[in-house]
């Protein structure tokens, strides 16, 4: 199936980059996909998925977790879409990681929830590497101060995430994100999608986000 072909490409890209096999995690982006397609990927043994919408994930994943989750092979679901502050409480209960921490108000809300719960999902700071006015994410020049403030709130930062501008070569954005992460002592790099994940792996991606190449075209009907 398509999943195996994508996994093979991920492993080949790791070899080409001189990286250990398995050092890049494939997030199967299952947003707006029919349950039957998601079930097929679960049945094939894949356990790491990405969702963009809290309400969709809440309707989909508790049932799939109950069916497929085991202590030795847990199902993991990552939030990779914009997170509204008023959905943060539900998000921290649903997701194993949130890749879209992008503003102080969300950081403060997540910190309060983490203190109350005693546990917090892994967090990636979304960086607007192209400084695009219509796109979410912390601007590169504001990133170091934002990370410092998040750490002062005891937030467990795992890494950085970016979505490069559509019309540009992704590679410089991936290299820039890797530099920013290294400068701030962060190991996680969530970058690369269906069209450019091999370039992201060459630049050090630890998580790549691939949807339609695995599941087929999405249906928004």
Please state, in angstroms and rounded to a whole number, the distance separating the CA atoms of residues 46 and 24.
14
Pairing, β 76-79 against β 188-190: unpaired
pLDDT band of 219, cuts 50, 70, 90:
low
Mean of pLDDT values over 154-175: 96
Of all residues in the chain, the percent with pLDDT exceeding 90 is 96
pLDDT of 216 reads: 85
pLDDT of 220 reads: 59
Mean of pLDDT values over 120-133: 97
- Taking all residues of the chain, what is their mean pLDDT, rounded to a whole number? 96
pLDDT of 26 reads: 98
In this structure, the number of other CB atoms found within 10 A of the CB of residue 8 comes to: 10
How do residues 29-82 score in pLDDT, each as one tens digit? 999 999 999 999 999 999 999 999 999 999 999 999 999 999 999 999 999 999
Please state, in angstroms and rounded to a whole number, the distance separating the CA atoms of residues 24 and 12.
11
Given a cut of 80, whether residue 218 has pLDDT beyond it is no
Q: Which residues contact 168 (CB under 8 A, 6 or more apart)?
A: 130
Question: How many CA atoms within 13 Å lie on the side-chain side of 118?
Answer: 0
Q: Structure tokens of 91?
A: 């998000």
Assess contact for 38 and 48: CB atoms under 8 A: no
Mean of pLDDT values over 102-113: 98
Given a cut of 60, whether residue 221 has pLDDT beyond it is no
Of all residues in the chain, the percent with pLDDT exceeding 70 is 98
pLDDT band of 217, cuts 50, 70, 90:
confident
pLDDT band of 207, cuts 50, 70, 90:
very high
Residues pairing with 49 in the sheet: 28, 77
Q: CA geometry: angle at 53 spanning 4 and 48, to 5°?
A: 30
Phi, psi of 117 (to 5 degrees): -90, -25
pLDDT band of 1, cuts 50, 70, 90:
low
Chain CA centroid to CA 166, Å: 18
pLDDT of 167 reads: 87
């Amino acid at each position: 199936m398509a999943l195996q072909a994508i996994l093979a490409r991920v492993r080949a890209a790791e070899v080409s980059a001189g990286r250990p096999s398995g050092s890049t995690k494939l997030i199967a982006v299952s947003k707006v996909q029919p349950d039957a397609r998601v079930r097929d990927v679960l049945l094939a043994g894949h356990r790491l998925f990405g969702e963009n919408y809290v309400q969709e994930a809440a309707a989909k994943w508790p049932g799939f977790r109950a069916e497929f989750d085991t202590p030795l092979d847990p199902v993991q679901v990552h939030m990779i879409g914009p997170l509204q502050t008023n959905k943060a409480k539900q998000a921290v209960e649903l997701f194993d990681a949130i890749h879209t921490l992008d503003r102080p108000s969300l950081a403060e809300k997540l910190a309060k929830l983490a203190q109350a719960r005693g546990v917090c999902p892994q967090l990636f700071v979304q960086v607007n590497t192209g400084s695009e006015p219509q796109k979410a994410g912390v601007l590169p020049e504001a990133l170091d101060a934002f990370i410092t403030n998040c750490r002062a709130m005891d937030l467990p930062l795992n890494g950085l995430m970016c979505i490069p501008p559509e019309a540009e070569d992704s590679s410089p954005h991936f290299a820039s994100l890797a530099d920013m992460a290294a400068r701030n002592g962060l190991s996680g790099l969530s970058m690369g999608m269906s069209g450019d994940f091999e370039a992201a792996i060459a630049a050090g991606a630890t998580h790549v986000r691939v949807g339609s190449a695995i599941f087929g075209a999405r249906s928004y009907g």
